[in-house]
Chain A
Amino acid sequence: MALLEIVQRKLRDQNALQKIIRALPWLCFLIPIISIIMMIELSMTGEYRHTYFSENALMPGQAHSYFRESEWNFVRGYRNEIVNMMNDNITTKNDNLNKLLIEMGYKTNLVQFMDEETGTEKNILYAIYHAPKGDDTEAMVLATPWYSEYEGESKLNVGGLSLSIGLARYLRRLSIWAKNVILVFPEDGEQSLRYWVNAYHTTLENTAGSLECAIVVDCPSSGDYIGYIDLEYAGINGQLPNLDLINTAIHIAENEGIRVSVNNTPFGQLWTNDFYSRVTSLFSGLFSIASSGILEYGDNKSFSGWNVQAIKLRGVEGHNSDITSFGRVIESTLRSVNNLLEKFHQSFFFYLLLGAKNFVSVGMYLPYGAMISIAYILASLNSLVDGFNASAGNSYKDFNIEVVKKKFTFKFVPMICSIITFLIITSTFIAYGLYTSNIITRERIQFDYQNLTYNYFVIPSMALIFIGTFIINPLLSILNIRIHSDFSRSLTMICMFFMGYALFGMMILNFSLSYVIGICFSAIFSIRYSTKSNFELRSKNCLVLLLTCPATWLMIFGSLHKFNAHLDSLRNLIQYFTLPLLEREIQKVLDFLDETSLNELLEGPVDIFTGLLKSYTRVQCWTWLYVSFIWIPLWVCMLLVSILPVYTGDLIKQSKKNV
Chain B
Amino acid sequence: MFSTPVNSYRSLNEGIFLLSNNLNPYTNGEIIHHPPILLWLFKILKESNIEDNFNTDLFYSLMDLLMCLQLIKINRKVNGKYGFSSLKIACFHMFNPFTLLTTFSKSTHIINNLLVISVSSCLVQDKFEAAIILLGLSSYLTYYSWYLLIPICYYLYVNKGISKVIKTKILFSLTLSVLIGISYKLSDDSFNFINLCYSTILRFKKITPNSGLWWYFFTEIFEFFNDFYLAVFNIYGLIFVLPLSIRFIKSNEKMNLLFVLWICVGLINFAKSYPIFADYTLFYSSIFLFKKYYSNLKFSPVIDYLFLYVVLLQAPTFYVVWMVLSSGNANFFYAIGLTLALLESIILSDFIWSFIQSEYYLNHKSDTKEDNVPPKLTQI
Contact = CB atoms under 8 A, between A and B. Distances in A.
Interface of A: 5, 239-240, 307, 345, 349-350, 501, 504-505, 508-509
B352 interface: no
Interface string B315-334: 00110110001111100100
Contacts of A307: 325-326
A501 B320 contact: no
Contacts of B313: 501, 505
A5 B321 CA distance: 40
Contacts, number: 26
A509 B321 contact: yes
B327 A5 contact: no
B318 A508 contact: yes
Interface in B300-326: 310, 313-314, 317-318, 320-321, 325-326
A501 B308 CA distance: 13
Nearest to B325: A239
Nearest to A240: B327
Interface residues of B, number: 14
B328 A349 contact: yes
Contacts of B251: none
B297 to A, nearest CB: 15
A505 B314 contact: yes
Given A239-B325, A307-B325, A349-B328, A509 B317 contact: yes
A349 B328 CA distance: 8
14 contacts: A239-B325, A239-B327, A307-B326, A345-B329, A349-B327, A501-B310, A501-B313, A505-B313, A505-B314, A505-B317, A508-B332, A509-B317, A509-B320, A509-B325
B180 to A, nearest CB: 47
Contacts of A5: 378
Nearest to A348: B327
A508 B326 contact: no
Contact of A508 (B310, B317, B329, B378): B317
B76 to A, nearest CB: 24
B325 to A, nearest CB: 6
A5 B298 CA distance: 13
A561 to B, nearest CB: 28
A504 B313 CA distance: 11
A255 to B, nearest CB: 28
Contacts of B321: 508-509
Contacts of B332: 508
Given A240-B327, A349-B328, 8 more contacts: A5-B378, A345-B329, A350-B327, A505-B313, A505-B314, A505-B317, A508-B314, A509-B317
Nearest to B329: A345
A239 B314 CA distance: 18
Contacts of B318: 508
A215 B224 CA distance: 41
Nearest to B310: A501
B207 to A, nearest CB: 20
Nearest to B318: A508
Contacts of A345: 329
A345 B326 CA distance: 9
Contacts of B310: 501
Task: Name, among A501, A505, A508, the residue most crowded by chain B CB atoms within 10 Å (CB to CB).
Answer: A508
B34 to A, nearest CB: 35
A264 to B, nearest CB: 23
Contacts of A504: 314
A127 B347 CA distance: 61
A76 B329 CA distance: 46
Interface in B347-380: 378
Nearest to A344: B326
Nearest to A507: B317
Nearest to B327: A349
A501 B317 CA distance: 12
Nearest to A242: B327
Interface in B144-177: none
Contacts of B326: 307
Contacts of A505: 313-314, 317
The 10 closest A-B pairs by CB, nearest first: A349-B327, A307-B326, A508-B317, A505-B317, A508-B321, A239-B325, A5-B378, A501-B310, A509-B317, A505-B314
Task: Name, among B310, B317, B325, B326, the residue most crowded by chain A CB atoms within 10 Å (CB to CB).
Answer: B325
A602 to B, nearest CB: 37
Contacts of B328: 349, 508
A171 to B, nearest CB: 27
Contacts of B325: 239, 307, 509
Interface string B96-133: 00000000000000000000000000000000000000
Nearest to A505: B317
Contacts of A240: 327
B339 to A, nearest CB: 13
Contacts of B317: 505, 508-509
A239 B325 CA distance: 8
Contacts of A349: 327-328
B95 to A, nearest CB: 12
A1 to B, nearest CB: 8
A599 to B, nearest CB: 41
B26 to A, nearest CB: 38
Contacts of A350: 327
Interface in B274-319: 310, 313-314, 317-318
Nearest to B316: A505
Contacts of B314: 504-505, 508
Contacts of B320: 509
A564 B267 CA distance: 61
B327 to A, nearest CB: 4
A391 to B, nearest CB: 28
A66 B150 CA distance: 77
B271 to A, nearest CB: 24
A509 B313 CA distance: 14
A509 B316 CA distance: 11
Contacts of A509: 317, 320-321, 325
Nearest to B332: A508
A345 B322 CA distance: 12
Contacts of A508: 314, 317-318, 321, 328, 332
Task: Name, among B313, B327, B332, the residue most crowded by chain A CB atoms within 10 Å (CB to CB).
Answer: B327
A349 B322 CA distance: 11
